[in-house]
Amino acid sequence: MTRVQVGKHVMVNIKRRSLCDNCLVASCVDLRRCRVTECSEHVALFLAFKKCSRCGRVFEVFSNFAALDYDICQECNSDQNEQERF
């Protein structure tokens, strides 16, 4: 679990194991029992948004649960990971 700052005095806890850990859907039929990183049925516990410090895009923090840097959006995190590989 990690704590992410979404406001000057507001922090939220995000579980990093799976998207399902940060979801309210009680009747989920996904029985894969593995790490879920994308789901069209995902419903966040509550909505918390941040503005990406790199591109300026506003993103929802619970869908960005696997990020290495929570100050940037999922797309910028992916780009950063690609650049670090090479």
Here the contacts of 77-84 (C-beta below 8 Å, separation 24 or greater) are none
Segments forming the whole domain that contains residue 70? 2-85
Q: What is the pLDDT of residue 54?
A: 93
Q: Report the number of distinct structural domains present in the chain.
A: 1
DSSP letter at 63? Answer: G
Cα separation values, 51 from 21, 28, 33, Å: 23, 30, 32
Cα separation values, 21 from 13, 14, 43, 45, 58, Å: 11, 8, 11, 10, 22
Q: What is the pLDDT of residue 65?
A: 76
- pTM of the entire structure? 0.65
Q: Is 15 helix (H, G, I), strand (E, B) or coil?
A: coil
Tens of pLDDT, residue by residue over 18-69, are 777 778 887 676 666 677 777 788 787 788 899 999 999 999 888 777 788 8
